[in-house]
Amino acid sequence: MKEKLPKEIVGRQTTDTVVMIYPDTFKFNPETASDNKFMKPLDGVTESETNTLACIEFENAVSLLGNNGIRVAVIHSPENLDTPDAVFPNNWFSHHGDAVVLYPMRNRSRSIERQPEILVNKLKEIEVETSRIFDFSYHEKNRKTETIVVKDEKIEMSVCIEALEGTGSMVLDRANKVAYAIESPRTTKGVFDEWCETMAYEGIFFHAENEKGPIYHSNVIMGIGEKFAVISLESIKNKDEQEMVVKSLSKKGREIIDITLDQVSAFCGNLLEVKSTTGAPKIVMSKTAFENFTTQQKERFISYGEIVALNIPTIETAGGSARCIMAEIF
């Protein structure tokens, strides 16, 4: 018998509550850098200094979000775990009404970020009850060995061959129950199709790339708000797939804000619309992204909500930005 669907509020795209994970062990991770070409280690800065900078940026971001009326629940990683990418929690879980969904991560260093008991307890602290957990992480048992080069040294690592990394892999139109995903080593069609069937979402699966190859996560090139959708049409080389995505987004009545591949590299696609506890729409992006949007694009955003720009350049060296550091709670 098919499991009951989560109790989600129909037609709701944004929330006023997010979970964020403190970057306790933040550092450059060569495992995830193998397919995330947006990662750039800081030159002339020690690992300890990098961690300190990331923690300062994180605390300032939490403060700015709070000052904008967004409820933030902060979780610290267990002290005994080395989790350099833990600041990006939206990859290992997503929240849907009374349910938490867990995801299969490509790299082992990211698999250990998954701490559902800690998450459920934190949600309980903010009076969010969890009735069920949908766990797709069993796909991690299917693995292969790959070789990467770190400082001129070859290192073998075990990777999951059936990954789906949460709302990094997928960009969700929650209001209309449509999931968009681009194929990559971190996003496999079989798991995506299974997720869509389980969660009763329509799936839109396509391909996107830049000059370095396939884009590793869908939320790098697109983001969906209540009345707008940001997407890099330039990254979708197949014209039929491009038309499919545009048709789907347009059908839902959203304005499409097209961004270039240069803007993708500046994390302009990695944004998230949330709302304050009083219902005021807020469009959260990084300062890097804000500075790389055109004046006209900024005006379009302002017509839909107030822009909240987080100054997180050190965190962005790990290949993720404003959207990645927030996991929405619905």
Distance of alpha carbon 93 from alpha carbon 119, whole angstroms:
9
Is residue 8 in a domain?
Answer: no
Distance of alpha carbon 9 from alpha carbon 262, whole angstroms:
36
- Number of neighbouring beta carbons within 10 Å of residue 37: 17
Q: How many domains, in total, are found in the chain?
A: 1
- At 87 the three-state DSSP class reads coil
Which pLDDT score, from 0 to 100, does residue 10 have?
Answer: 73
Contacts of 6 (CB under 8 A, 6+ apart): 96, 97, 98, 99, 132, 134, 199
| Rounded mean pLDDT for each run of 10 residues along the chain, 330 residues in total | 71 96 93 78 89 98 98 93 96 97 97 97 97 97 91 88 98 97 98 97 97 95 98 98 97 95 98 98 98 98 98 95 98
Q: How far apart are the first and last CA of the chain?
A: 26
Distance of alpha carbon 241 from alpha carbon 256, whole angstroms:
16
Distance of alpha carbon 265 from alpha carbon 268, whole angstroms:
7
CA distances (Å), 53 to each of 76, 80, 155, 202, 294, in order? 17, 21, 28, 40, 28
Is residue 6 in a domain?
Answer: no
Which pLDDT score, from 0 to 100, does residue 2 have?
Answer: 57
Distance of alpha carbon 208 from alpha carbon 182, whole angstroms:
6
**Amino acid in position 229:** A
Distance of alpha carbon 228 from alpha carbon 37, whole angstroms:
27
Predicted model pTM:
0.96
What DSSP string runs through 244-299? HHHHHHHHTTPEEEE--HHHHHTTTT--EEEE-TT--EEEEEEHHHHHHS-HHHHH
Q: DSSP letter at 142?
A: S
Which pLDDT score, from 0 to 100, does residue 30 have?
Answer: 84
Distance of alpha carbon 63 from alpha carbon 9, whole angstroms:
28
Distance of alpha carbon 122 from alpha carbon 255, whole angstroms:
36
CA-based nearest residue to 219, from 128, 124, 328, 135: 328
Which pLDDT score, from 0 to 100, does residue 3 have?
Answer: 67
Is residue 3 in a domain?
Answer: no
- Number of neighbouring beta carbons within 10 Å of residue 180: 26
Is residue 183 in a domain?
Answer: yes
Is residue 5 in a domain?
Answer: no
Distance of alpha carbon 232 from alpha carbon 292, whole angstroms:
14
Q: DSSP letter at 107?
A: B
Is residue 298 in a domain?
Answer: yes
* Whether the Cβ atoms of residue 271 and residue 232 lie closer than 8 Å to each other: no
Distance of alpha carbon 191 from alpha carbon 259, whole angstroms:
28
CATH number of residue 268's parent domain: 3.75.10.10
Distance of alpha carbon 125 from alpha carbon 30, whole angstroms:
35
Which pLDDT score, from 0 to 100, does residue 1 have?
Answer: 41
* Whether the Cβ atoms of residue 91 and residue 146 lie closer than 8 Å to each other: no
Q: Which domain holds residue 161?
A: 17-328
Is residue 12 in a domain?
Answer: no
